Amino acid sequence: MSHTPPVCAPHGDIIQAAVDREEPPQLSQAQLLWIAALLDGLAAQRSGAAEGLRFLVFGVGLDSDVWAAVNCQGRTAFLEDSEEWIGRIRGSHPGLEVHHVTYQGRLSAAQEFFKQPWLMDVPQSVQGACWDAILVDAPRGFRPYHPGCMESAYYAVHTARRCTAAGRAHHVLVFLHDVNRPVESQIVQRIFSGPGIRPLGVIKGQLGDLAAFSIAQAPS
């Protein structure tokens, strides 16, 4: 019996409903629409695929159900280090795929990470997977004792390179939030650089600027 994929609601309607909530997402409406539009364009390029997009999101929050709804035909997985937020999201949206992770680094030691980066541990079901798009919006990074986004960003770029090199993705979209902050600015310079990485632009937001990149297989 053939499987008929669900029909996703229009992205504009999903996002409008989210920003109209009493507690709207931190990403602005323009940023949410930009991500959705790029995902939609990527899905159109893969129109012959049997399933929807593979979308990995670092962090859960007030936009988690938005991404699951936008990518209703695909797999959307979330990685979160806060047990409190995991409990909150599982309570309000029990159908979401949410995994707990831990981070070893600290924002105060960001320079040490840049000098000698490491690959963070993720659950087995995520570790070997490939993704069409990755959103890096966690962990927290506005206090010296916070983990910062160094590990999550490095994992995103490393995974994108691994999957494109193996032919399991033609290219991977990676989004990075808060690129206006000092450490995220260094992440862009140090991690989102090199052959095969193409910046797609930046959308400013009141609660942090959002950058997007396309990562393809590096020329041999």
Domain of 134, CATH number, reads 3.40.50
Give the total number of structural domains in the chain. 1
Q: What percent of the chain has pLDDT over 70?
A: 95
Domain of residue 187: give its range: 53-216
pTM of the model as a whole: 0.95
pLDDT at residue 7 tops 90: no
- Evaluate whether residue 108 is within a structural domain: yes
The pLDDT value recorded for residue 4 is 62
Let me know: does 187 contact 141? Beta carbons within 8 Å.
no
- Evaluate whether residue 101 is within a structural domain: yes
pLDDT at residue 123 tops 50: yes
Residue with tokens 């994108």: 160
Q: How confident is residue 153, by pLDDT bands cut at 50, 70 and 90?
A: very high
Q: How confident is residue 101, by pLDDT bands cut at 50, 70 and 90?
A: very high
Using DSSP bridges, classify how beta strands 210-216 and 54-58 pair: parallel, antiparallel or unpaired: unpaired
Average pLDDT over residues 194-212: 97
Q: What is the pLDDT of residues 43-85, one digit of tens each?
A: 888 765 557 899 999 999 999 999 999 999 999 999 999 999 9
- Evaluate whether residue 189 is within a structural domain: yes
Let me know: does 117 contact 92? Beta carbons within 8 Å.
no
Side-chain half-sphere of 97: how many Cα atoms within 13 Å? 16
pLDDT at residue 30 tops 80: yes
Average pLDDT over residues 189-195: 96
Q: What is the DSSP string of 48-82?
A: TSSS--EEEEE--STTHHHHHHHTTTSEEEEEE--
- Evaluate whether residue 63 is within a structural domain: yes
- Evaluate whether residue 129 is within a structural domain: yes
CA pair distance 33, 121, nearest whole angstrom: 31
Let me know: does 105 contact 147? Beta carbons within 8 Å.
yes
Q: How confident is residue 29, by pLDDT bands cut at 50, 70 and 90?
A: very high
The pLDDT value recorded for residue 1 is 45
- Evaluate whether residue 72 is within a structural domain: yes
- Evaluate whether residue 99 is within a structural domain: yes
The pLDDT value recorded for residue 45 is 85
Q: How confident is residue 116, by pLDDT bands cut at 50, 70 and 90?
A: very high
- Evaluate whether residue 179 is within a structural domain: yes
User: How many helices (H) does the chain have, and how many strands (E)?
Assistant: 8, 7
pLDDT at residue 136 tops 90: yes
